[in-house]
Amino acid sequence: HGRLEAFAAHSQVPVINALTDFQHPCQLLADIQTYIEHRGDIAGRTVLWVGDGNNMCNSFIEAAERFD
């Protein structure tokens, strides 16, 4: 991650870290977009996470705080 931050600091174009051991924000955005397309607005909804407590779970927890 440190190398990516150093690279981004010297880049003239935006640099994103799309995946870490702790977060997976791009997959989360795709999942939320799919939810909205099939079920409508996600704000105020209850969502259940079934699976390992991994980077996707962490991303969903963070998103839940923002969409509530």
In this structure, of 1-5, 25-29, 54-58, 62-66, the range with the lowest mean pLDDT score is 1-5
Tens digits of residue pLDDT in 22-61: 999 999 999 999 999 999 998 888 889 999 999 999 999 9
Instruction: Assign 9 a pLDDT band (cuts: 50, 70, 90).
Output: very high
Q: What is the DSSP letter of 46?
A: -
Could you list the beta-strand ranges (E) of the chain. none
User: What CA–CA distance (Å, rounded) separates 14 from 62?
Assistant: 22
pLDDT for residue 4:
85
pLDDT for residue 12:
96
